[in-house]
Structure 1
Amino acid sequence: MSDDAQSTHTFQVDLRGLVDLLSHHLYSSPRVYLRELLQNAVDAITARQALDAGAPARITVRTADGRLTVTDTGVGLTEADVHRFLATIGRSSKRGADGGLDGAELASARGDFIGQFGIGLLACFVVADEITVTTKSAADPAAPAVEWRGGSDGRYAIRPLPAGAVTEPGTTVTLVPRPDAAEWTRPEQVVALARHYGALLRHEVTVEDAGGRVTRINDTPPPWQRRYGSPLARKEALVEHCRRTFDFTPLDTIDLDLPLVGLRGVAYVLPTSVHPSRQAGHRVHLKGMLLSDQAHELLPDWAFFVRCVVDADSLRPTASREALYEDETLAAIRDALGARIRDWLTGLSAGDPALLHQFIATHHLAVKALARYDDELLRLLLPWLPFETTDGQVTLDEFARAHPVILVTQSVEEFRQVAPIASAAGLGVVNGGYAYDRDLVHRLPEIRPGSSVTDLDPTTVTAHLDTVDPAAELAAAAFLHTAREVIAQFDCDVVLRSFHPVSAPSLLLDSREARHERTRTELATEADGLWADILGSLRSAAPRAQLVLNHLNPLVRRAASVTEPGLAVTAVEALYGQALLLTRRPLRPTESALLNRAFIGLLDHAMHETGSDPRGETS
């Protein structure tokens, strides 16, 4: 087809389908209809104040006779504006285009508008089938007021109103909710929704019910921008605001102020610990209108110990206006807010040690996550941080004073294996199996010269175990032979040593290399063909695990004297099973079977002994 024969067509829009799309895929709930109405009203007032800075700024919501109306003292529309904006989906009256209401003067103030997408009025069709808009223009006072009626079927009607029907500039939107959406326009629900979305709006917002009772919605300015008689009074006001907003009493408050992007607010420090993976629910307002109460992307991931309320001018919302758009501005704001929280931490170390101790006791995991990547905070806070050690839960500074050489395990399991023995031997061991701990402990010499930190080797522990008298080991040779045969299936050796505490009958020393080799062996056993051959060829000479029996323990000495083969096997299995349980690691099926077998064997032996008299006759 030639260019001359080419025809041009206009897209046809199915309004019902579009409304269904909005209600089920763009907006999270029908309740957003009131937010959109409030937002349009705020933008209309902003547009009027761009023409007349002294213009009134009021928004009134009324619920009566099954109807809901929202009236604003904004810029209003002429009949031409109504045709151009209300009847054209997606076109916003905030856009600078071709003069009139959306001309250059108002376009220059576009940054002051909340809405940017031109689909706000459609949200009303989520709860109503018909919308009536009555409006009078402030930009063209001579123009008559206009009534626009639109239906969810896509039809609309416009008529000019008689002179005097509307005397003041502004707009009133009226809707009658459908029966299935009536709950969203009940008076008490409207008040709750208005407060939820508009508590920080900068223009007066009121809700009036059928009885004429008026409820003031917003109390501006927000508490962090008000003037108080003293710092203590301000702190008490912010604490009360946190209780009302988040339902907890904060450990402390952190002022957030980024003038370049028009952001102000406050961060509340949680009084209890939370898991780092739990996403924080920050409340973000855009020019006073609530954008999201679950804006987890506002702060860096490490700042999971605070909840924020902020009001900003330059944040960019998504199309649904229920989340933040991820762009360079948001990334810069996130970094800047993270720096504010970091500065607060730095200030605590110098100015309020008692609060710092309280904070670290609650949120030490967050501080460890931050200190790992922040050299200054590492220097300031690492000595204050608690670690699990053979001396208990103590700060690293306190532990380093008692132990010039610090040994660090690579896993929680290794620490639990060696902690009782290492403590009795006077070794200083830190559990490095938790997130960040091993890396942080290894950096201690950077801020505490003279400290020595090294990874724990199981041979370091065995070097502190005393050998047994040769005569005693010879007397236990038969039992040790049985033990080695029984435990060999677990790639484990058995040795007899003397060590403290005496209450510990056995110790399982299982290095990471030994565990890797055992896992490889298990996979090779379960695999077939080529894969089994490959795993077999990878067999290493890694050291095997060791079951160390404590000759000082009365139970071990008694077990070593057992001559009955069956009871000796059961005793070995019980000692190995107890050592396994002390490591607190998950048991493999074969190990669980061994524990069950040992328990049943000991029970059978006890019952047999109880049921026999000294002459060997059953009683």
Structure 2
Amino acid sequence: MTSTPRPPSPSPSPSQSPSPSQSPSPSQSPSPSPSQSSLSSSSSSSDEEAAVNSFQVDLRGLVDLLSHHLYSSPRVYVRELLQNAVDAVTARQAHEPGARVHIRLSATAGRVTIEDSGIGLTAAEAHSLLATIGRSSKRGGEHGLETTRQEFLGQFGIGLLACFVVARQIRVVTRSARDPEAAPVEWLATDDGSYTVRELAHDARPEPGTTVHLEGRPGSEEWTEPAKVERLARDYGSLLPYDITFDDGEGGAPRPVTDRPAVWDRPFPTPAARRVALAGQCARLFGFTPLDTIDLDLPVAGVRGVAYVLPEATSPAHRAGHRVHLKGMLLTDQASNLLPDWAFFVRVVLDTDTLRPTASRENLYDDETLAAVREALGGRIRAWLTELAASEPERLAAFLRVHHLGVKSLARHDAELLGLMLPWLPFETSDGSMSLEEFAAAHSDIHFTPTVEEFRQIAPIAAAHGLGVINAGYTYDADLLALLPSVRPDLKVTELDAGAVTERLDPVPTDVELSLAAFLSTARTRLEPQACDVVLRAFQPVSVPALYLDDRQARQERDRTAALDNADSLWSGILGSLRGSGPRARLVLNHNNPLIRRIAGLPDATLTGTAVESLYGQALLMSQRPLRPADSTLLNRAFLGLLEWATHSVENPKDAQ
């Protein structure tokens, strides 16, 4: 931001407020005295005393800062108007308990007015508070309001100047309730940075309070249009603790802005009626009818509200915003740090009096208080799940059909909740989709595949041979399976390895395997460069000719070998010393498959080797693993070899016999 310094000009101090005859004109543009400036500096040395100067504020630069950097939208000016009025009324009631108070907002084309029966200001206070950046009537105890400071909405002293984001001119007419003899005061400011203060006749405002008139700047017409102002006022102020009305100037009765108490605090004849009312609020605020609702009543944390469960599944990475009211005033509808990450399946609307806003008052300040509230809200949602599991399993089942990912995310850090949810959380298994409890009833030894691709390759074969396999390639499933033995110590959970699968497959009779020794030798020789063993088994389904199996150790050994091939002499020695005798990948040939038996009977060893390489490539592709350069080379060689053999056989049919 670039600001233009202006030389200081004399201005009356708060104790020397100008009378109407002494009031400066707008062209005189008095500046606050050094004692009134929000920023001042002084310096001194041992030899001489330095002059004290005031920083000058370029209001145009300030407006640019507010509208383009601090606030997300000009719409916040309505919030600032409501905030100042509510704080003034709060101060009036603290000063004069039982005083009748009101706030009235009105708008016509290009003009917005708000009038309150709040505490009001004297001429000195108008100089000190309205025209000094960073000064607030809520600061300190200078006006005897320190005891009620926690009731105020405004905390940063930016105040009325924020309205210059839409206004060309701001006129304030105010009368103090603390000094009944003081005359009403007019404070008039324009967006060039000048202002005047003058006292008015007593009948200009007979009662204490303040009226603020905004005259819109060219280009801001959409923000001062009556329907827009009313809509913004309802959005920001529907839960404020005082009656606020709106008048569009068309002669109709003023309409209420506030709608208290909040829906979640209203009495209803039946729980069903309450659910209908809450669902209606959810539809208005968020645009969906909730699957369920969760009360968020945390008196100790100063929080009251409701969480709405989304009716459709959503991504765990999606962080849609929640609506947070601070002492009734809408703070933000995009609070993304209010709930734990796992609670992505709800949208929340709540009111709080404990959380801190950011400087722009458009989000929550992430501090220890918010962290504690976030944990407490997460605990309330968890308690709701526990209650459903204990007393309303049908509602829980309906919820989990849509949002099992959220519960899995929570359960991976909570063994107790995992144990509670075992009968409900769905998993993809070799026996079909079912809960862990159902699966554990059939399999005491539970195997899992770390990727979806491996599971899809092995699942049909595992099911046919009684091997219990769970697909842990989906989000959170591997974490839950790792936690499962702590909940069910009788269960053994291990990652599926090639040896476990091979052992479950039916062996080929010894005499048959001996008769195929030459074929198996050729196959193993051809696949040795791929670090892959060849095993002959008989398994179902018959339609699968070959199965490619490996495990974590085999992959690690393969990666080590690849690194060794590409390493320099130093690293070759280090990696070579790490060579172990760990398991290697396996190509399991299915002797039940007719194609395998025909390949095993080929008289040409070269053609047999090419066919084996083709089987290897096909099994590798079926497993959907990424291909290494050596694998791609083998696939190309096998494909071209088979093509050449096929075309050569056509040209020389006698050679093919």
- TM-score for both structures, normalised by structure 1: 0.91
* 8 Å Cα contact 2:446-2:492 kept in structure 1: yes
After the TM superposition, which residues 386-401 of structure 1 pair with which residues of structure 2 at under 5 Å, given as runs?
386-401=426-441
Post-superposition CA distance 1:290-312 (Å, at most 9, x none):
11112122112222221110001
1:248 and 2:248 equivalent? no
RMSD in angstroms over aligned alpha carbons? 2.7
- Shift in alpha-carbon separation, 1:554–1:48, aligned structure 2, 3 A: same
SS at match of 1:82: helix
Separation (CA, whole Å) in 2 of partners of 1:26 and 1:261: 28
Moved more, 364-373 or 51-60: 51-60
Per-residue deviation, 1:472: 4.0
SS at match of 1:244: helix
Q: Which residue of 2 aligns with 1:190?
A: 229
- Shift in alpha-carbon separation, 1:191–1:562, aligned structure 2, 3 A: farther
Give 2:429's aligned amino acid: T
SS at match of 2:261: coil
Matched residues, number: 611
* 8 Å Cα contact 2:416-2:487 kept in structure 1: no
Separation (CA, whole Å) in 2 of partners of 1:615 and 1:509: 39
Q: Which residue of 2 aligns with 1:359?
A: 399
- Shift in alpha-carbon separation, 1:320–1:604, aligned structure 2, 3 A: farther
Give 1:251's aligned amino acid: L
1:289 and 2:329 equivalent? yes
- Shift in alpha-carbon separation, 1:144–1:386, aligned structure 2, 3 A: same
- Shift in alpha-carbon separation, 1:607–1:393, aligned structure 2, 3 A: farther
Q: Which residue of 2 aligns with 1:320?
A: 360
Give 1:139's aligned amino acid: R
- Shift in alpha-carbon separation, 1:584–1:205, aligned structure 2, 3 A: farther
Post-superposition CA distance 1:200-233 (Å, at most 9, x none):
2222333332424544333211110111111110
* 8 Å Cα contact 1:371-1:382 kept in structure 2: no
Q: Which residue of 2 aligns with 1:30?
A: 74
Separation (CA, whole Å) in 2 of partners of 1:40 and 1:597: 80
Post-superposition CA distance 1:41-68 (Å, at most 9, x none):
1111111122234334433332224222
Per-residue deviation, 1:529: 5.1
Structure 1, unaligned runs of 5 or more? none
Per-residue deviation, 1:574: 3.1
After the TM superposition, which residues 39-438 of structure 1 pair with which residues of structure 2 at under 5 Å, given as runs?
39-98=83-142, 102-103=143-144, 106-213=145-252, 214-438=254-478
SS at match of 1:361: helix
Separation (CA, whole Å) in 1 of partners of 2:351 and 2:235: 14
Separation (CA, whole Å) in 1 of partners of 2:237 and 2:573: 69
* 8 Å Cα contact 2:508-2:591 kept in structure 1: yes
Per-residue deviation, 1:569: 4.7
Separation (CA, whole Å) in 1 of partners of 2:215 and 2:141: 33
Separation (CA, whole Å) in 1 of partners of 2:389 and 2:565: 56
Give 1:495's aligned amino acid: V
SS at match of 1:180: coil
1:10 and 2:67 equivalent? no
Give 2:352's aligned amino acid: A
SS at match of 1:393: strand
Equivalent residue in structure 1 for 2:622, among 575, 582, 585? 582
Give 2:167's aligned amino acid: A
Moved more, 464-473 or 487-496: 464-473
* 8 Å Cα contact 2:109-2:221 kept in structure 1: no
* 8 Å Cα contact 1:60-1:72 kept in structure 2: yes
SS at match of 1:293: strand
Separation (CA, whole Å) in 1 of partners of 2:464 and 2:63: 73
Separation (CA, whole Å) in 2 of partners of 1:329 and 1:158: 42
Separation (CA, whole Å) in 2 of partners of 1:234 and 1:204: 24
Separation (CA, whole Å) in 1 of partners of 2:643 and 2:116: 84
Structure 2, unaligned runs of 5 or more? 1-44
SS at match of 1:150: strand
Post-superposition CA distance 1:84-140 (Å, at most 9, x none):
100111111112333xxx22xx22111111111110322112223332222222222
Q: Which residue of 1 aligns with 2:598?
A: 558
Per-residue deviation, 1:439: 4.2
- Shift in alpha-carbon separation, 1:449–1:533, aligned structure 2, 3 A: closer
- Shift in alpha-carbon separation, 1:177–1:430, aligned structure 2, 3 A: same
Q: Which residue of 2 aligns with 1:457?
A: 497
Per-residue deviation, 1:353: 0.5
Separation (CA, whole Å) in 2 of partners of 1:516 and 1:420: 26
Moved more, 186-195 or 276-285: 186-195
1:509 and 2:545 equivalent? no
Separation (CA, whole Å) in 1 of partners of 2:613 and 2:489: 47
Post-superposition CA distance 1:301-350 (Å, at most 9, x none):
22222111000111111111111112222122112111111111110111
Separation (CA, whole Å) in 2 of partners of 1:307 and 1:475: 68
Per-residue deviation, 1:487: 2.8
1:544 and 2:587 equivalent? no
Separation (CA, whole Å) in 2 of partners of 1:608 and 1:204: 94
SS at match of 1:12: coil
* 8 Å Cα contact 1:256-1:337 kept in structure 2: yes
SS at match of 2:307: strand
